[in-house]
Structure 1
Amino acid sequence: MERSRDAEPDEDDPRPDRAAALASLRELVASDRTRRDPGAALPLGVPALDDRLPAGGLGLGLPHEVAPEAEGDEPAALGFTLALIARHLGLAGGEALLVIAPGHPTPYGHGLSGLGLDPDRILLFEVGSDDEAYLAIEEALRTRGLRAVAGFLDAGLPLKQGRRLQLVAEASAPLLLVLRPARADLPNGAATRWRIGGAQGARDRFGCLLRPRWRVHLERCRNGRPGTWLLEWDHAAHRFGLPDALADHAPAARAGRS
């Protein structure tokens, strides 16, 4: 006898409820996506730049590489890296860890404050080699208690090590930065690669530096578009911007779209 369509479902029927199964599958996929792809980013606050980044900013939980444009631009690259950390901590709170390998200067309190960073929120860890730096960064990422982790490396980030750090960082999604010398140019899995050059910053009437400026080259961007900008940093507002002299100037706008 054929069962009526309006009959109650048989509890012994092995066939699963299709709607319930689909709902469970969607929930599982959503949970996995949340775990593996935080979907969060740090916007730099400059539309011409953020529009070129796939998430509207630096993807959190992904490695980002910063390097000097040329020999002698190391202070500029360091300043830009610390400004990124200052912006993130200004928006998200928490603390940051700087893992410093040989060949990099150790930031000091006054310099950190000048870039808008509270020295009490910065942890410094000096190591003897890049291998030690990789281990320290990985262990720091596993703690899941830091908003930002930056490794100042002597030879850069190898592809295998970069992938390993990304897998560890996915769970807590911190801002993950790697600062390397100009000479080190290893293939790696960084989501973005930045070249930073020094530029003459704005000064007050006493000749003191008001806002540092950098020539910023986005050389590589996974699922994004490279570009070049002249950026300045407002340490009090934790904000990047275009210099006033260029903000309303047509050639500057074209440079951002080159």
Structure 2
Amino acid sequence: MKASKADIIAQLQRDILPLQGYKPVAGNICFDAGLGIIKEAFPNASFPLGAIHEFFCTGAEDASATSGFIAGIVSAMMQKGGVALWISASQTIFPPALKIFGIAPEKVIFINLTKEKEILWVMEEALKCEGLAAVITDTPEVSFTASRRFQLAVEQSRVTGFIVRRNPRNLATACVTRWKISPLPSISEDGLPGVGFPRWNVELLKVRNGTPGIWQVEWRGRFRHVFRIASINKEQQRKAV
């Protein structure tokens, strides 16, 4: 029986994925980081491991929300062991707070450097270390050439990298996904006074061979209450950055 046009296109997409950095990681083929319906935005409904993910921030509030969202993803990646590196010019993370996201603070190595060139060099070298679960870097500028080197490094080591960029000037990178995370007001439990669980507006602006979109997410020891708000088209991507 002849294959239908849809079957042929689907097979071509599967063949192309490994060429774009989507090489399955043993034991994690369907890894979704507990992101709920957001996983449907990724190829094969699997959060891309062994890839570089880019996050845009426009202020301190966005940066804090982004760090929390990344911590939620990394906590799922560290369930089977391993440590993470967090590289930045100044440490803005309060290590004990990582326990909220299921990460033992002693499992994260913080590296603080003053020069952007040093930050990018350390990140590239860290991404080559197969024993790391993840490498998170806070730096405003990343050239296309540097991002391409990062992607080539993780395709060999299968380490997953996260780059947090605050008010970046250069938008052209080789990263597999691009996100923008913004804080939302929390909702207290049963009308009780106080602060509720962290909530975020999650915008997936770019994903190779996937479907960008917008969701509202709440963290309750894991990602819960994930609501899809809208899809994102190219015009929305341009305005967002």
TM bucket normalised to smaller? 0.7 to 0.9
Q: Cα offset for 1:257?
A: 5.2
Cα deviation 1:24-64 (Å, max 9, x = unaligned)? xxxxxxxxx7xx75313641334431111114233112110
Q: Distance in 1 between matches of 2:57 and 2:22?
A: 30
Higher mean C-alpha deviation, range 121-130 or range 203-212: 203-212
Letter paired with 2:225: L
Unaligned runs of 5+ in 1: 1-32, 244-251
- Kept after mapping to 1: 8 A contact 2:84/2:107: yes
Distance change (3 Å), C-alpha of 1:170 and 1:93: same
Alignment of 1:125-204 (within 5 A): 125-153=111-139, 155-204=140-189
SS of equivalent residue, structure 1 residue 117: coil
Q: Cα offset for 1:125?
A: 0.5
- Kept after mapping to 1: 8 A contact 2:177/2:205: yes
Q: Cα offset for 1:120?
A: 1.0
- Kept after mapping to 2: 8 A contact 1:68/1:76: no
Aligned to 1:225: 211
Letter paired with 2:37: A
SS of equivalent residue, structure 1 residue 87: helix
SS of equivalent residue, structure 1 residue 59: coil
Aligned to 2:86: 98
Q: TM-score, normalised by structure 1?
A: 0.72
Q: Distance in 2 between matches of 1:142 and 1:73?
A: 29
Aligned to 2:96: 110
Aligned to 1:63: 52
Letter paired with 2:103: L
- Kept after mapping to 1: 8 A contact 2:22/2:51: no
Letter paired with 2:178: R
Letter paired with 2:156: A
Q: Cα offset for 1:231?
A: 0.6
Distance change (3 Å), C-alpha of 1:216 and 1:133: same
- Kept after mapping to 2: 8 A contact 1:69/1:195: no
Aligned to 2:42: 53
Letter paired with 2:50: G
CA RMSD in angstroms comes to: 2.5
Q: Distance in 2 between matches of 1:175 and 1:78?
A: 15
Pick from 67, 75, 91: which aligns with 1:78? 67
Larger Rg: 1
SS of equivalent residue, structure 1 residue 180: strand
Q: Distance in 1 between matches of 2:82 and 2:60?
A: 33
- Kept after mapping to 1: 8 A contact 2:127/2:161: no
SS of equivalent residue, structure 1 residue 58: coil
| Pair 1:38-2:23 in alignment | yes
Pick from 214, 223, 227: which aligns with 1:240? 223
Q: Cα offset for 1:116?
A: 2.0
Give identity over the alignment, percent.
26
Q: Distance in 1 between matches of 2:35 and 2:213?
A: 13
Cα deviation 1:133-159 (Å, max 9, x = unaligned)? 111112212221101111111x23211
Unaligned runs of 5+ in 2: 1-17, 233-241
Aligned residues: 209
Distance change (3 Å), C-alpha of 1:113 and 1:213: same
- Kept after mapping to 2: 8 A contact 1:156/1:178: no
- Structure 1's consecutive aligned runs of 4 or more residues displaced over 6 angstroms after TM superposition are none
